[in-house]
């Protein structure tokens, strides 16, 4: 086979390349199309309104703040962060005790339930005299029975919830054991039972006749052995009876048990009468209550004048005295009531007297 020389092939390639380039140059490049609505597009792009710069606001003049006012603002912010009770607790203890002593027991109960700090303070032994002063300020309230603390006694008298499940409605009350229960808790068998195991105990009928009972709307007499009895008292009776062997010891035990239970029943009757009397006061018309308060206030003023406090019974002092917890009550003043409230009122007048002397010393120094 005959092949063309290399030089001729190269020349042919060069000629073909030049022809293709000439054809490419001869082709006319298409021009870009013009926008159809060029003028309208420019009008759209142009802003239709003119931007107006906002007016310059003059800087407000800062008021000069005193250092004391600034410190007060900081202190108030700190109190807000800590809570209102914290600032109150930081007051001197003698002032707090003086304020709390003028309150009623129900107010102390509410305060003890507001925070852990107040609860630990009011439930401590050192606060017992505060509860005592608050109780003595209530007319006719008997002292707590033996073995009962002041807060527990106040809760039994003034609260209305069930002491076991804390429901708001209660149907049964044991005035001797100072227990208040709803119907569900009364009949669940944990605190009171219909069938105590006491038939093996000697003189069981006599002993059970004096066991504390629950009183409801249909109960009028003390329960018998087949009625609803206090489980804790029944267990205590069984334990004491198991240790007694001789007939003389049995006789002494029965007499002592019956005497103790009867004394407890007498105290319970006083408490029940006070609670019923307090409940009855809620239904007295408002105008009658106002009249009773006014008569009580006038009688107390007369007794204070008889004690020699006439010079200190000014108009301002009488207005304060009228709001005192021992004075502002819708109940007539009797000799027994005056004997109970006289110490607190004398303490009040002593404070008034000391304040008058301090004011006189200030005037003399001026």
3-state secondary structure string, 212-233? CECECCCCCCCCCCCCCEEHHH
Q: Are 229 and 212 in a shared domain?
A: yes
How many domains does the chain fold into? 3
What is the per-residue pLDDT for 85?
Answer: 59
Last residue of a domain, one of 229, 252, 283: 283
Residue 4 has pLDDT above 70, yes or no: no
**Confidence grade of residue 221 (pLDDT, cut at 50, 70, 90):** very low
Confidence band (pLDDT; 50, 70, 90) for 364? very low
> Does residue 29 sit within a domain?
no
pLDDT one-digit tens code per residue, 20-50: 455 545 545 455 555 554 444 444 555 555 5
Q: Could you tell me which residues come within 8 angstroms of residue 50 by beta carbon, excluding any fewer than 6 positions away?
A: none
222-250 pLDDT, tens digit each: 433 346 777 787 777 777 777 777 778 88
Q: What average pLDDT does this structure show over 307-329?
A: 83
Domain match, 231 and 165 both: yes
Q: What is the DSSP string of 93-158?
A: HHHHHHHHHTS-HHHHHHHHTT-HHHHHHHTSGGGHHHHHHHHHTSTTPPPPPTT--HHHHHHHHH
User: Are 273 and 326 within one domain?
Assistant: no
128 lies in the same domain as 182: no
Question: 241: which 2 tokens?
Answer: 């009876």
193-217 pLDDT tens trace: 766 666 666 666 667 666 776 655 4
Residue 108 lies in a domain: yes
323 plus 353 within the same structural domain? yes
* Residue indicated by tokens 């109190």: 79
What is the rounded distance in angstroms from the CA atom of residue 304 to the CA atom of residue 317? 12
Alpha carbon of 231 to those of 153, 180, 277: distances in Å? 21, 15, 30
Residues 134 and 238 reside in one and the same domain? no
Residues 189 and 278 reside in one and the same domain: yes
Claim to verify: residue 251 and residue 188 sit in the same structural domain: yes
Structural domain span for residue 87: 82-145
Q: pTM of this prediction?
A: 0.51
Task: Place 73 in a pLDDT band, splitting at 50, 70 and 90.
Answer: low
314 and 256 in one domain?
A: no
Angle at 21 between CA 19 and CA 22, to 5 degrees: 65
Residues 171 and 273 in one domain: yes
Domain boundary among 236, 252, 283: 283
Q: Say yes or no: 172 and 103 in one domain.
A: no
Q: Give pLDDT tens digits for 81-138.
A: 555 556 666 777 778 888 888 888 888 888 888 878 788 888 888 888 888 888 887 7
Residues 180 and 239 in one domain: yes
């Amino acid at each position: 086979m005959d092949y063309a020389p290399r030089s001729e092939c190269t020349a042919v390639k060069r000629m073909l390349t030049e022809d293709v380039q000439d054809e490419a140059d001869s082709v006319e490049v298409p021009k870009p199309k013009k926008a159809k609505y060029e003028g309208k597009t420019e009008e759209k792009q142009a802003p239709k309104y003119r931007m107006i710069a906002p007016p310059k606001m003059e800087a407000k003049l800062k008021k000069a703040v005193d250092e004391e006012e600034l410190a007060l603002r900081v202190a108030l912010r700190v109190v807000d962060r800590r809570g209102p009770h914290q600032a109150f607790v930081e007051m001197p203890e003698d002032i707090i005790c003086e304020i709390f002593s003028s309150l009623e027991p129900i107010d102390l109960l509410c305060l003890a339930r507001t925070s852990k700090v107040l609860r630990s303070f009011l439930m401590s032994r050192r606060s017992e005299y505060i509860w005592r002063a608050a109780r003595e300020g209530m007319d006719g309230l008997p002292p707590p029975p033996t073995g009962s603390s002041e807060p527990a006694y106040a809760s039994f008298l003034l609260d209305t919830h069930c002491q076991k499940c804390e429901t708001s409605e209660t149907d049964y009350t044991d005035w001797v054991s100072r227990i208040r229960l709803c119907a569900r808790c009364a009949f669940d068998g944990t605190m009171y039972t219909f069938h105590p195991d006491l038939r093996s105990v000697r003189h069981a009928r006599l002993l059970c006749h004096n066991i504390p009972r629950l009183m409801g709307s249909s109960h009028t007499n003390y329960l018998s052995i087949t009625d609803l009895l206090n489980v804790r008292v029944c267990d205590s009776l069984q334990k004491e009876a198991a240790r007694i062997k001789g007939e003389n010891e049995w006789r002494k035990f029965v007499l002592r048990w019956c005497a103790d239970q009867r004394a407890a029943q007498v105290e319970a009757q006083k408490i029940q009468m006070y609670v019923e009397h307090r409940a009855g006061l809620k239904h007295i018309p408002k105008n009658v209550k106002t009249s009773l308060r006014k008569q009580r206030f006038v009688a107390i003023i007369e007794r204070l004048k008889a004690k020699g406090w006439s010079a200190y019974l000014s108009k301002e002092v009488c207005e304060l005295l009228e709001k005192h917890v021992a004075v502002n009550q819708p109940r007539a003043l009797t000799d027994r009531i005056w004997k109970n409230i006289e110490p607190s009122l004398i303490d009040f007048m002593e404070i008034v007297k000391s304040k008058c002397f301090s004011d006189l010393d200030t005037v003399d120094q001026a």
